[in-house]
Structure 1
Amino acid sequence: MTAPPENLADRPATPGDVGAPGGVLGGDPDGRPHDLLSELLRSVRLSGERIVAHTPPPSFSIGFADRGSLHIVEAGEVLLEIDGYPHAEHLRRGDFVLLPRGDSHSISDVGGRAHAIALADGVADDVPEPARWLCGTFTIGDPQASHLLGSLPAVIILRGSGGSGGSGGSGGPALEALEGLEVARRMIVLEMQSPSQGSAVMVSRILDLIFIQIMRTWASGADAEPTWLAGAFDPQIGLALSAIHREPGHDWTVDELARASNLSRSAFAARFVARVGKPPATYLAHVRLDAATTLLRDTFLPVANVAESVGYASEAAFSRAFKNRYGTPPARWRRDVRFR
């Protein structure tokens, strides 16, 4: 969708019909910072599913696919290989590994060959510690919002005391996060060892906590890749993202978002791309169409009213953008969703 330089997307028919943002830009009306991460995770409807303990014999390889996955290495060493990625990750005790997009991957034993050789030579002291790890899975309640997770990296690793490098660190916020994650791991283990009424819900909620903690620890780090999550943790760009998500139908301009971020227009545009990975206009278009899917699915508003609510000047412009994104016109998309 092409827009004049001063505008980010098709203008609403009348800005007053949609409403200007109220209160503080990027915050709640009472001045509190807007919790963008919580809002976006609620829109995805991410939910911890279940946890399994893996204690395979030496020389193993286990595949995982089609689910967001969490691996917590409790003992030994394993090798993580992600389909389509040439680099394998060496994981050790204490590592927390999140695959938020659900990429197909496998975990195999790095010590199996050494184990067999040591046993054959009768050198018991050289036998590597058997691998043991926990694997949790996640479900996405709203497939239309799954692109939010799809824009994240294939794998996020917080290295424990037994490892080095990766996305974790040896001190500061990463260390504090690992301490909290270790408490969560122990709570899961207790529920697995002594299940009782409510254990399934307990495990699901703890998995949710671990997922969020890993994501926000990664996003607040200096080496975070450009995504909406990294942008949300930027003290200035986060203000613009929050404003966009609070009022996607508002007639946003680059100048207005730059002022909300306390940056000049040029500095804002450059920083937005560096943190989020796409220009403000593209991001705004995605947010507007996401909001449209919610209205189409959950209300009986006519398509023209949906278009106006999310900031499009005409139903035709909205329908073109919607079809380009989802491959079908909005009216047909609504029928298909409701008949599933």
Structure 2
Amino acid sequence: MDVLNDVLDTLNLKGALYFRTDFSGPWGVTVPDLQQAARFHLVVQGRCHVSFASGASVDLGPGDIVLIPRGRSHVLADTVSRQAPPLETVLELSGYDGQGVLVVGERDPQASTQMVCGHFSFRKGADHPLLRALPEYLVTTTGMRAREPWLDEMLRLVVHRMFSEEIGSLAAVTRLSEIVFIELLRVGISQSPDLKAILEAFRDRQIGQALQLIHNQPAESWTVERIAAAVGMSRSRFAEKFSELIGTGPMAYLSEWRLQKALALLDGSRSSIQQVALQAGYQSPAAFTRAFAGKFGLPPTEYRRSLD
């Protein structure tokens, strides 16, 4: 099993495209918070200044893409300190109906800023050290793309599809964007020591093997000693290295992952609460219910009803 693939599948990574933009003249827009999501903006033409409430900012040029992993509010504008009305206001004033291109200002094909904007969503309650390790934003420039031909080709294909307006283009781009998300994480490790450590853990011979065991058999009665022995390490060294790379201890990781698997089972299957509890590694429905409610604030039966 590919651990990263299992993580993203279980957390229910889904790509979604907002729209293409065509901004001319003085322009700015405040993009609101979006929980359980990661936003992205890919500049096709022109320039875009991105700023955050924290004071951080970045300038993007043609071919650059910014990934905002936690979906936090941010401002897109042509220049620093531009007045930026809320996105809802911009959509209303432009008359945008969700189809085609979002146009702001007098359309000028030669001088406008054109972007492809979208987001990746995760299941409500989705949590993992990988998500917690992501920084406020990740930028991939055209220079970085030149060294990553696979990612560069994917982004070129996204742009081609979005601007072709052929039948099925949006569906194709939505699926391609999920691959792009994974590639952006891999390319972005130089911008985040925590993210680098997590991805190194997935590739590490012994810690990677331990993660494989947990992900392949989450219901197994694992102990630190058993996993350490299985990967050929002493208990103390294994626990130390696992915590160093993942940011949490192996038993805490196992407990959290069992609850994420339970969320996925409650969401995607008709299994009973007892069956979900057993598949997730709990000895009894009562123990499962206590752990689930402690993590998510409501028992599994109420969570499942909330999905209807």
Instruction: Output the TM-score relative to the length of structure 2.
Output: 0.76
Stretches of structure 2 lacking an aligned partner (at least 5 in a row): 83-109
> How far apart are the structure 2 equivalents of 1:188 and 1:306?
38
> How far apart are the structure 2 equivalents of 1:222 and 1:139?
20
Question: 2:127 aligned with 1:157, yes or no?
Answer: no
Distance 1:38 1:300, change over 3 A: closer
Summarize deviations over 1:77-101 as a string: whole Å, max 9, x none: 4322234x23222334432211232
Residue identity opposite 1:244 in structure 2: I
Question: 2:157 aligned with 1:176, yes or no?
Answer: no
5 Å matches for 1:85-100?
A: 85-100=54-69
Distance 1:86 1:271, change over 3 A: farther
Give the drift of 1:286. Answer: 0.9
Distance 1:112 1:132, change over 3 A: farther
Distance 1:259 1:214, change over 3 A: farther
Question: 2:281 aligned with 1:311, yes or no?
Answer: yes
| 3-state SS in 2 of match to 1:145 | coil
Identity, in percent, stands at: 30
| 3-state SS in 1 of match to 2:248 | coil
Structure 1 range deviating more: 137-146 or 246-255 = 137-146
Distance 1:284 1:78, change over 3 A: same
Distance 1:322 1:132, change over 3 A: same
Contact 1:230–1:276 under 8 Å retained in 2: no
> How far apart are the structure 1 equivalents of 2:164 and 2:248?
47
Q: 224, 241, 247: which is aligned to 1:277?
A: 247
Stretches of structure 1 lacking an aligned partner (at least 5 in a row): 1-33, 114-128, 162-167, 169-173
5 Å matches for 1:261-272?
A: 261-272=231-242
What is residue 209 of structure 1 aligned with on the other side?
179
> How far apart are the structure 1 equivalents of 2:268 and 2:275?
14
Give the drift of 1:328. Answer: 1.3
| 3-state SS in 2 of match to 1:143 | coil
Structure 1 range deviating more: 279-288 or 190-199 = 190-199
Question: 2:297 aligned with 1:330, yes or no?
Answer: no
Distance 1:47 1:306, change over 3 A: closer
> How far apart are the structure 2 equivalents of 1:97 and 1:145?
22
What is residue 42 of structure 1 aligned with on the other side?
9
Give the drift of 1:312. Answer: 2.4
Q: 188, 198, 208: which is aligned to 1:218?
A: 188
Give the drift of 1:284. Answer: 0.8
> How far apart are the structure 2 equivalents of 1:53 and 1:294?
32
Contact 1:98–1:155 under 8 Å retained in 2: yes
What is residue 253 of structure 1 aligned with on the other side?
223
> How far apart are the structure 2 equivalents of 1:131 and 1:273?
48
Residue identity opposite 1:42 in structure 2: D
Contact 1:136–1:207 under 8 Å retained in 2: no
Residue identity opposite 2:21 in structure 1: H
Contact 1:109–1:131 under 8 Å retained in 2: no
| 3-state SS in 2 of match to 1:333 | helix
5 Å matches for 1:223-242?
A: 223-226=192-195, 229=199, 231-242=201-212
Give the drift of 1:245. Answer: 1.3
Give the drift of 1:51. Answer: 5.5
> How far apart are the structure 2 equivalents of 1:134 and 1:233?
34
Residue identity opposite 1:153 in structure 2: P
> How far apart are the structure 2 equivalents of 1:222 and 1:234?
20
Q: How big is the alpha-carbon RMSD for the aligned residues of Structure 1 and Structure 2? A: 3.1
What is residue 137 of structure 1 aligned with on the other side?
118
Residue identity opposite 1:94 in structure 2: G
> How far apart are the structure 2 equivalents of 1:300 and 1:242?
26
Contact 1:140–1:146 under 8 Å retained in 2: no
> How far apart are the structure 2 equivalents of 1:48 and 1:154?
19
Residue identity opposite 2:266 in structure 1: L
Q: How many residues align?
A: 276
Contact 1:237–1:272 under 8 Å retained in 2: yes
Give the drift of 1:285. Answer: 0.8
> How far apart are the structure 1 equivalents of 2:71 and 2:61?
21
Give the drift of 1:229. Answer: 4.8
Contact 2:12–2:122 under 8 Å retained in 1: yes
Distance 1:207 1:292, change over 3 A: closer
Instruction: Output the TM-score relative to the length of structure 1.
Output: 0.69
What is residue 20 of structure 2 aligned with on the other side?
53
